[in-house]
Amino acid sequence: MVEVKLHDIGEGMTEAVIVHYLVKKGEQVKVDQPLVEVQTDKMVAEIPAPAEGTVDDIFIPEGQTVAVGTTLLSLRTETAEQRVKEQLAATIAREVERHFTQETTEAARRQRILASPYTRKIAREHGVDLALVNGTGPAGRITDEDVYRYLKAQQSQSAVEKSTQPQQTMAKTSENHEEIVPFRGRRKQIAKKMVQSLRTIAHCTHFEEIDVTELLAVREQLKKHGVTISATAFFIKALSLALKQFPIFNAKLDEENECIRLQTEHHFGIAVDTEEGLVVPVIKHIETKSIRQIHEEMKALTKKALEHTLTLSDMTGGTFTISNVGPLGGSIGATPIINYPEVALVAFHKTKKRPVVTENDEIAIRSMMNISMSFDHRVADGATAVAFTNYFAKFIENPNLMWMELI
């Protein structure tokens, strides 16, 4: 017998939700055949069969959250000799059962019900099984009155059921004015992650507006040359440049060892809204990649997220997170929750054309975008957050300065 347990499938996970079993009890499985889908706080993963055999038993129901190390199901691995023995035992058991059934049937036939021929006729005409009637005559003989008494009792019970049925239906209808949505799987994992972040991190959110007019003009120039790059790719690269200047926002707080660990590599989580909830695939090594590479990788990861084909490596290792809610219509601001154990998250909101007073005291129509930056106030102060967003805005409002940093 082989036990299939929930094992750690990445980054020290402690539990997962059983989403769906891909096999049934008694089903033959091969080595590495997927047995069950589980939902961690990052992704849906499959647990394969460690050996060839038959599913002997399934212990944990779907929808339940279990800890790492819990036995989910068991496999019965069989040798040729074992299979022959089991088949022989099954054949013997079937023969014994058939013989026992025949004897029981014959014994039942021999057991006579005491009733007169006329009483039996009454029972036949009314469809009454005499085996269900309690006889009150000598030696338990069933009389005519016993049959009629049984019929009357059955009719009374049927009338009671009919009279109460409409009331029960109405009660069910009147009480059932809600729709139940299961709170499990990815939704439950997102909830646990958000609560963990809010309970652990001292959240503080800084708001800023940025003029993206010049950056949008650069994008239009690139389009004329057949190059299409999303504005978000520019934002990500500018944030990476800002993190080099302010590495405190690309860090993790190690409370146990009383230190802040600055991460030298920039791995950005990209929040993606899917039908099943929020997922955050990660673009690795932003600091070494071009804006075009960032755009292409972000596009590929977003597609995988929407198609539910992200792998564990696509979802792990993030050091900083961004959320682009502009396309969804988020135009003013928000207080985004930090992706624990990171220390900062930036959300980009909808770009709008607005009249703006320029440095020359002239009014001009400019494309303005609001951003919300949530940061861990245990690790950084508000003044540092303002300096960080100002440094980021410098590259967005003057793209030529960004090019100088990339040379």
Q: Do 146 and 55 sit in the same domain of this protein?
A: no
pLDDT digits (tens, 9 = 90+) for 248-263: 999 999 999 999 999 9
Token pair recorded at residue 175: 């009480």
pLDDT digits (tens, 9 = 90+) for 122-160: 888 888 888 888 888 877 888 888 888 888 888 777 666
* 105 in any annotated domain: no
* 83 in any annotated domain: no
Q: Do 196 and 154 sit in the same domain of this protein?
A: no
Element spanning 167, H or E: helix 144-175
Q: Which residues on neighbouring strands pair with residue 275, listed in sequence order?
A: none
Mean pLDDT, residues 356-360: 89
Q: Which residues on neighbouring strands pair with residue 207, listed in sequence order?
A: 372
Q: Do 270 and 241 sit in the same domain of this protein?
A: yes
Using pLDDT thresholds of 50, 70 and 90, give the confidence band for residue 11. Answer: low
What pLDDT is stored for residue 159 in this prediction? 65
Number of domains in the chain: 3
* 102 in any annotated domain: no
pLDDT digits (tens, 9 = 90+) for 275-303: 878 899 999 999 999 999 999 999 999 99
CATH number at 141 reads: 4.10.320.10
In whole angstroms, what is the distance from residue 207 CA to residue 385 CA? 10
Assess contact for 202 and 377: CB atoms under 8 A.
Answer: yes
Q: Do 14 and 145 sit in the same domain of this protein?
A: no
Q: Do 381 and 298 sit in the same domain of this protein?
A: yes
More confident position, 116 or 372: 372
CATH number at 264 reads: 3.30.559.10
Q: Do 232 and 131 sit in the same domain of this protein?
A: no
Q: Do 317 and 272 sit in the same domain of this protein?
A: yes
* 315 in any annotated domain: yes
More confident position, 223 or 139: 223
Using pLDDT thresholds of 50, 70 and 90, give the confidence band for residue 106. Answer: very low
Burial class of 307 by CB neighbour count within 10 A (0 to 12, 13 to 18, 19+):
exposed
Check whether 269 has a pLDDT greater than 70: yes
CATH number at 51 reads: 2.40.50.100
Assess contact for 304 and 162: CB atoms under 8 A.
Answer: no
pTM score over 0.85: no
Residues in the chain: 407
What pLDDT is stored for residue 100 in this prediction? 56
Q: Do 194 and 338 sit in the same domain of this protein?
A: yes
Give the structural domain span for 61: 2-78
More confident position, 109 or 190: 190
Q: Do 313 and 195 sit in the same domain of this protein?
A: yes
More confident position, 213 or 307: 213
* 51 in any annotated domain: yes
What pLDDT is stored for residue 184 in this prediction? 75
Check whether 363 has a pLDDT greater than 80: yes
Residues with Cβ within 8 Å of residue 249, at least 6 apart in sequence: 243, 320, 343, 344, 375, 380, 385, 388
Nearest to 62 by CA among 29, 34, 38: 38
Rounded alpha-carbon distances, angstroms, from residue 399 to 209, 218, 221, 242, 260: 16, 8, 13, 14, 32
- List residues with catalytic annotation: 377
Q: How much of the chain is helix, strand and coil, in % rounded to 5?
A: 45, 25, 30
Mean pLDDT, residues 313-325: 94
In whole angstroms, what is the distance from residue 62 CA to residue 60 CA? 7
Q: Do 277 and 396 sit in the same domain of this protein?
A: yes
* 173 in any annotated domain: no
pLDDT digits (tens, 9 = 90+) for 340-355: 999 999 999 999 999 9
* 85 in any annotated domain: no
What pLDDT is stored for residue 82 in this prediction? 59
Nearest to 51 by CA among 35, 62, 66, 70: 35
Radius of gyration of the CA atoms of the chain, in A: 35
Q: Do 145 and 197 sit in the same domain of this protein?
A: no
* 92 in any annotated domain: no
Least confident of 33-42, 274-283, 380-389: 33-42
What pLDDT is stored for residue 322 in this prediction? 97
Mean pLDDT, residues 163-185: 63
In whole angstroms, what is the distance from residue 120 CA to residue 113 CA? 10
Mean pLDDT, residues 368-393: 97
